[in-house]
Amino acid sequence: MTDAAKAAEKPRSQWADVWAQFRSHRGAMIGMGFFVFICLLVIFGPMLWDIAPNKIDIRAKNQGPSLAHPFGTDQLGRDTFAQVLAGGRVSLLVGVTAMAISLFLGTLVGVLAGYFKRLDSPLMRLTDLFLALPILPLLLVIIMLFRDPLRAAFGPEKGIFILVVFVIGITSWMHTARIVRGDVLSLKEQEFVLAARSIGTPPHRMILRHILPNVLSPIMVSATLGIATAIITESAISFLGLGFPSDFPTWGRLLSDSTNFMSLHPERVIWPGLAISLTVLAVNYIGDGLRDALDPRIRGR
Partner 1 sequence: MLNYTIRRLLFAIPVLLFISFIIFLILDLAPSDPTGNLPLTIPPEVREKIRQSLGLGEPMYWRYLMWCKQFFINEPLNIWDQWMGTCSFNCEDRLRVISYVTRSPVVDLIVERLPQTLWVVGMSYVVGILIAIPVGVISAYRQYSIFDQAGTFVSMVGYSVPPFFSGVLVIVIFSVQLGWFPSIYDTTLKVTDWASFKMQLRQMVLPVMVLALQTTAQISRFMRASMLDNLNMDYVRTARAKGMKERTVLLVHVLRNSLIPVVTVIALAVPSIFGGAIITEQVFKVNGIGQLLIIGIQGGDAPLVQTLTFIFAVLIVLFNLIADILYGILDPRIRYD
Q: What's the min distance (Å) between Cβ of 239 and partner 1? A: 5
* Cβ-contact 73, 60 below 8 angstroms: yes
The smaller minimum CB distance to partner 1, of residues 27 and 45, is found at 27
What burial letters (b/e) apply to 245-275, b meaning 16+ CB within 10 Å?
Answer: eeebbbbbbbbbbbeeeeeebeebbebbbeb
Measured from the CB atom, the residue of 80 and 284 that comes closer to partner 1 is 284
Q: Which is nearer to partner 1, 101 or 139 (CB)?
A: 139
Gap between the Cα atoms of 100 and 132, Å rounded = 22
Give min distance, CB of 179 to partner 1, in A.
Answer: 17
Beta-carbon contacts of 288 under 8 Å, excluding residues fewer than 6 positions away, are: 25, 27, 28
Nearest approach in angstroms of CB 113 to partner 1 is 18
Distance (Å, rounded) from C-alpha 81 to C-alpha 71? 5
Measured from the CB of residue 288, what is the shortest distance to partner 1 in angstroms?
8
Nearer to partner 1, 149 or 245 (CB): 149
Site residues (CB under 8 A) for partner 1?
Answer: 27, 128-129, 131-138, 140-142, 144-146, 148-149, 228, 232, 235-236, 239-240, 242, 252, 255-256, 259, 262-263, 266, 269-270, 273, 276-277, 280-281, 284-285, 288
Class of residue 190 by CB neighbours under 10 A (exposed 0-12, middle 13-18, buried 19+): exposed
Is the CB of residue 219 less than 8 Å from the CB of residue 184? no
User: Residue 204 Cβ, how far from partner 1 at the closest point, in Å?
Assistant: 32
Inter-CA distances, 70 with 49, 67, 80, Å = 11, 5, 8
Minimum CB separation from partner 1 for residue 51, in Å?
25
Measured from the CB atom, the residue of 187 and 240 that comes closer to partner 1 is 240
Nearer to partner 1 by C-beta: 53 or 287? 287
